[in-house]
Amino acid sequence: MAIQPIRLFGDPVLRQRAIEVVDFDRELHTLVSDLTDTMLDAPGAGLAAPQIGVGLRVFTWYVDGEVGHLVNPVLDLSEEEQYGEEGCLSIPELSFDCTRALSVVARGFDMHGEPVTIEGSDLLARAIQHETDHLDGVLFIDRLDAEARKVAMKAIRESDWFGMDQPTVKVSPHPTNGLGL
């Protein structure tokens, strides 16, 4: 539907736990479409609703040519781990090595409210864990060891985008009766 501005590190919405989706309606369909369009335009391997300023438990992914979305995810993680490069559209142009579970079984719903189970390993597992973290207000740099996190924070502070103004969100003073995000 529309490409939305991506919120950057420092925006408070990225540190808040998103709320469960209860209405599987046209607004949710629009949100999934906006997330998908924004993710593909960026481009990225995933995008969570808080990254475009919407505090709902929804994310999209694009891995190995497959586009998908998940609403209200619950994850079962493997004990086996993977260690590798990870980046984030809210922390542009930077990536750091991060430990994640090697595989995941993610249960949730599609935008129509139908139950969905996604099983993935490697990059898909990493993307699903990364985006679910966003829904809990956790950034991947929070998962780095102390030394790596210190390096990451220094790189963030030195980046061209750090401290840039966040998009202004205008809220209608009128009741929307659930017709607007």
Cα distances (angstroms) measured from residue 38 to each of 60, 103, 119, 138, 148 = 10, 26, 24, 21, 29
Structural domains of the chain sorted by starting position, each given as residue range(s) with its CATH number in brackets: 12-158 (3.90.45.10)
Q: Cα angle vertex 57, ends 66, 153, to 5°?
A: 85
Per-residue pLDDT of the chain (181 residues; tens, 9 = 90+): 689 999 999 999 999 999 999 999 999 999 999 999 999 999 999 999 999 999 999 999 999 999 999 999 999 999 999 999 999 999 999 999 999 999 999 999 999 999 999 999 999 999 999 999 999 999 999 999 999 999 999 999 998 888 765 544 444 444 444 444 4
Q: What is the pTM of this model?
A: 0.87
So which residues are the catalytic ones?
131
